[in-house]
Structure 1
Amino acid sequence: MTYKILSTSIIYINEDMINQRIDNFLKKKFKNIPKSMIYRIIRTGKIRINKKRIKPNYKLKIGDQIKVPPIKIFAEKKKYCHINYDQINLSNNILYEDNYLLIINKPSGIAVHGGSGINFGVIEYFRKVRPLEKFLELVHRIDRDTSGILILAKKRTSLISMHQQIREKKIQKEYVALVHGLWPCNLKKISKPLLKIYFKNKQKKMFINNNGKVSETYFKIKKQYSSTTFMSIFPRTGRTHQIRAHTSYVGHPILFDKNYGNLDLDRLIKNKINCNRLLLHAISIHFIHPNDGKILHIEAPLDMNIRNFLQNLV
């Protein structure tokens, strides 16, 4: 095993960091450190704020000084990939921006953050090309293979406000997807609990299981083709892979879904443009602006791959 030592560090708390619990702050700051270790070094007094011992529920205040001791952690080898920032210009995908939020139309195939063997994602991209931004965090996540609306917060107050709206189900999202088969007209809602299972290769998959978390998705038919259906989909909860797992469960998986799809059905589809991306797209979002309280409705146009594929369907 390969280990590395994180040296002693002093963190000064500014206005974008306040009101967080110290345990949550450290978990975000040091993602490679196990949660159990974080709680242990807090409990044993090795983490000091203003030279004093604190408890895990201590909330950070402006001007606080956090002293973090040397920590020995396992250094996992990552499969680093070289990113050409001239070829991937996500700045062209910005749908909306002000002093509080940055909303983009994320392309399929790009992760929202690094991890699981890759060192690049949307959040790393914008932190790299905007070094003067003091604060940039993901408000939510969408799958790597899913395209569409992704929101970043440019202030901690914006992040807190948006997360509160998510918890209170005030944010309305619409996805569109092309699924196999003719979707039944009377199937307008799937409410099945989803349980996350991790495999040895660190991949995860969601399964319908009574021990899982409550998951609810609404469906509306947009257009039916000879052997596929174009759907509007409205998730009421935000579980991992929720739409993909629910559509697969009822026998209408999304086209070209490598984890929840049907490879035999995918092969039967006439693919004139050789499209093999997941045909799932976050097309619109409706929420309250975290600063002025106004209602915002943002739409993300379909990319050329999906539009060309739909035009060739019969």
Structure 2
Amino acid sequence: MKTQTSATNRDADSTPRVQLVDVPEDRAGQRLDNFLSGRLKGVPKSLIYRICRTGEVRVNGGRVKPDYRLNAGDKVRVPPVRVAERGPAEAPSDNQVGRVEASIIHEDREFLVIDKPAGVASHGGSGVSFGAIELMRAARPRDTLELAHRLDRDTSGVLVLTRKRSALTALQAAIREGRVEKRYMALIEGNLPKARLMVDAPLRKSVLQGGERMVRVDPEGKESRSHFSEVERYAGASLVEVALETGRTHQIRVHAQHLGHPLAGDEKYGDRAFNKAMREHGLKRLFLHAARFEFEIGERSYSFSAPLPPELAAVIDTLQQRRTSTPR
């Protein structure tokens, strides 16, 4: 990797300096924030996002967002970053590591797949010390693990990690090109007007004054498509399967709200009265579960699935006891 610095005598002076880093071929397609995390060891993600937002990080001389996908040969300006002197980094507890390690549903030479529990973030940052990736790295310190995609903290289900750089770039290319099938199970308010329907509504992210991230349907947003299919209907609610063509932040939650059928347990985009009714059926979390993740790389096909976790299956059991009609 070619690295240039803004001053000489680096070995004689440990003061951090600006670096201009050429992106090697094996990092093509990697997100800028992840690239920076690899170079700025120990620097929290919140600081990485800040130096991107303020323009201290630049790619080919211009400002880019943290989710920018790098190209081979891009020149990344990495600013000097100081991290306050601290004692040894806090390690996750054995219980935290054990919980995520127990969720492994598949592993081979290229992939490690977990059934991520709800409440566990995909990665650390924004007040979260350890996400699934950090916990799995603690469990498998000899592996070179990377997140291939993300799930919201409150969403459970299939989360794919890679063990080789070649696997990561191949899967990320498949995701960008729409060659990955992702299906979720969700409980929504009411019943869909049709057994199957597609929502084609562009989504736009915004940050409120207090720092809360919100997503809304907006003609100026990014194209977003979700396919809803009714699985079973109950009194005042329906279990649906949602297939995604795109993978925008909070896509299923906002598209369900846009339909007028918000997700059960959704404190951000949901309906308060519906959420209260579902709590009476035992629901204590967002009812959204990543049930299946399928893709092909070369001549090999992969299909990973995870059943509804017990706490969601129990809610369905109580609703079935009061079901008023059968599935279509």
Q: How does 1:137-216 map to 2 (within 5 A)?
A: 137-185=146-194, 188-216=197-225
SS class of match (1:86):
helix
Q: How does 1:24-39 map to 2 (within 5 A)?
A: 24=32, 26-29=35-38, 30=40, 31=45, 32-33=47-48, 34-35=51-52, 36-39=55-58
1:114 to 118, 124, 128: 124
Specify the alignment match of 1:284 in structure 2. Answer: 292
**Does the alignment pair 1:129 with 2:128?**
no
Separation in 1 of the partners of 2:267 and 2:31? 36
SS class of match (2:27):
coil
Specify the alignment match of 1:50 in structure 2. Answer: none
Separation in 2 of the partners of 1:196 and 1:297? 31
Paired residue type of 2:278: I
Residues 1:196 and 1:270: Cα distance change in structure 2 (over 3 Å)? closer
Question: Contact between 1:7 and 1:71, CA under 8 Å: does it hold in 2?
Answer: no
Paired residue type of 1:37: E
Q: CA deviation at 1:58?
A: 6.0
Question: Contact between 1:26 and 1:38, CA under 8 Å: does it hold in 2?
Answer: no
Paired residue type of 2:112: L
SS class of match (1:19):
helix
Question: Contact between 1:23 and 1:57, CA under 8 Å: does it hold in 2?
Answer: no
Moved over 6 A (4+): 66-69
SS class of match (2:102):
helix
**Does the alignment pair 1:308 with 2:292?**
no
Separation in 2 of the partners of 1:172 and 1:70? 41
Question: Contact between 1:8 and 1:68, CA under 8 Å: does it hold in 2?
Answer: no
Question: Contact between 2:25 and 2:72, CA under 8 Å: does it hold in 1?
Answer: no
RMSD between aligned residues: 3.3
Residues 1:251 and 1:148: Cα distance change in structure 2 (over 3 Å)? same
What is the percentage of aligned positions where both structures have the same residue? 31
Q: Which moved more, 1:227-236 or 1:199-208?
A: 199-208
| Alignment deviations for residues 231-286 of structure 1 (CA, whole Å, 9 cap, x no partner) | 011011000000000001111011000111111121133624x3211111010111
SS class of match (2:56):
helix
Specify the alignment match of 1:51 in structure 2. Answer: none
Consecutive unaligned residues of structure 1, counting only runs of 5 or more, are 1-5, 44-55, 61-65
Separation in 1 of the partners of 2:31 and 2:15? 19
**Does the alignment pair 1:295 with 2:283?**
no
**Does the alignment pair 1:97 with 2:107?**
yes
Consecutive unaligned residues of structure 2, counting only runs of 5 or more, are 1-13, 62-69, 323-328
Q: CA deviation at 1:38?
A: 2.6
Paired residue type of 1:108: A
Residues 1:259 and 1:81: Cα distance change in structure 2 (over 3 Å)? farther
SS class of match (1:188):
strand
Paired residue type of 1:297: S
Q: Which moved more, 1:22-31 or 1:199-208?
A: 22-31
Specify the alignment match of 1:20 in structure 2. Answer: 27
Separation in 1 of the partners of 2:232 and 2:239? 5
SS class of match (2:57):
helix
Separation in 1 of the partners of 2:164 and 2:192? 42
Separation in 1 of the partners of 2:71 and 2:291? 38
Specify the alignment match of 1:229 in structure 2. Answer: 238
Separation in 2 of the partners of 1:81 and 1:225? 47
